[in-house]
């Protein structure tokens, strides 16, 4: 008999010490996952899926990844095909470079991160503040059935919570999974094979954000159990 512990995926939340890992941990636990918060490269290597959350500045996250010797393990994890979910700054450090800092990013998604242009005006002529803070409507670039499983069942035009001053500009438009408008088009989500990034914070976005974590947990479950098919007796 297969035990549930065998089936349950090991999800690691990468603790760069520059992120609020606890709200991500809480959200994953709410949907039935049992994540491990760690800065240990070996724990990451043994995981079935990982989350790279972020708050703060890209150089702070890259400095932490470099000093914790996590930079190469994160790249190896991404190359392994296991699900990797990156949030906010976690998404931005996937890129080659950022106008916010001097350190190179992970280079897992080709492109750069640029400052949201200051001084833009909304439809009513009010000056739009940078950083972009608050709820914003998200538009998925693919229809329901073509989307990555993590975004299935999320209604088009759903609102998610954003906090950022910089926006990701992928070289490949096909890797943009969702957009939002903040005077300029903001890349709200990226998908590159098994690497998924959101500029918004699903863990701060109420029930619709929890749906993303639920979908991620289900994706981890199916990925793990496809790999570990029990042998027929």
Q: Is 201 a catalytic residue?
A: yes
Please answer whether residues 187 and 179 qualify as being in contact, where contact means their C-beta atoms are separated by less than 8 angstroms. Answer: yes
Considering the candidates 86, 88, 187, 220, report the single residue annotated as catalytic. 88
Strands 84-87 and 49-52, by their bridges, are parallel
Average pLDDT on 146-167 reads 96
What is each CA distance from 39 to 12, 16, 97, in whole angstroms? 9, 7, 23
Among the listed residues 219, 130, 212, the one whose alpha carbon sits nearest the alpha carbon of residue 177 = 212
- What local confidence, expressed as pLDDT, does residue 159 receive? 98
pLDDT digits (tens, 9 = 90+) for 95-154: 999 999 999 999 999 999 999 998 888 888 888 899 999 999 999 999 988 999 999 999
The structure's pTM equals 0.93
Among the listed residues 19, 15, 31, the one whose alpha carbon sits nearest the alpha carbon of residue 163 = 19
CA 212/CA 210 separation, integer angstroms: 5
Considering the candidates 164, 175, 187, 201, report the single residue annotated as catalytic. 201
pLDDT digits (tens, 9 = 90+) for 213-222: 999 999 998 8
Q: Is 164 a catalytic residue?
A: no
Q: Bridge-partner residues for 36, per DSSP?
A: 12
Considering the candidates 164, 168, 203, 220, report the single residue annotated as catalytic. 203
Q: Is 99 a catalytic residue?
A: no
Whether the per-residue pLDDT at 93 is higher than 90: the answer is yes
């Amino acid at each position: 008999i297969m035990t549930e512990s065998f089936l349950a995926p090991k999800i690691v939340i990468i603790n760069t010490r520059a992120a609020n890992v606890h709200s991500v941990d809480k959200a994953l636990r709410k949907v039935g996952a049992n994540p491990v918060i760690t800065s240990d490269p070996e724990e990451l290597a043994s995981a079935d899926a990982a989350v790279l959350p972020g708050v703060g500045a890209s150089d702070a996250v890259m400095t932490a990844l470099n000093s914790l010797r996590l930079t190469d393990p994160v790249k190896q994890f991404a190359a392994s095909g296991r699900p990797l979910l990156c949030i906010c700054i976690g998404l931005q450090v996937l890129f080659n470079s950022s106008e916010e800092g001097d350190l190179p990013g992970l280079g897992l998604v080709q492109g750069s991160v640029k400052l949201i242009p200051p001084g833009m005006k909304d439809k009513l002529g009010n000056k739009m503040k940078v950083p972009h803070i608050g709820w914003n409507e998200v538009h998925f670039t693919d229809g329901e059935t073509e989307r990555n499983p993590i975004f299935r069942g999320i209604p088009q035009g759903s609102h998610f919570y954003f906090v950022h001053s910089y926006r990701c500009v992928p070289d490949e438009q096909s890797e943009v999974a969702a957009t939002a408008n903040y005077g300029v088009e903001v890349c709200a989500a990226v998908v590159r094979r098994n690497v998924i990034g959101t500029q918004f914070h699903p863990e701060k976005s109420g029930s619709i954000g929890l749906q993303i974590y639920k979908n991620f947990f289900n994706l981890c479950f199916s990925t793990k159990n496809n790999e570990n098919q029990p042998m027929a007796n």
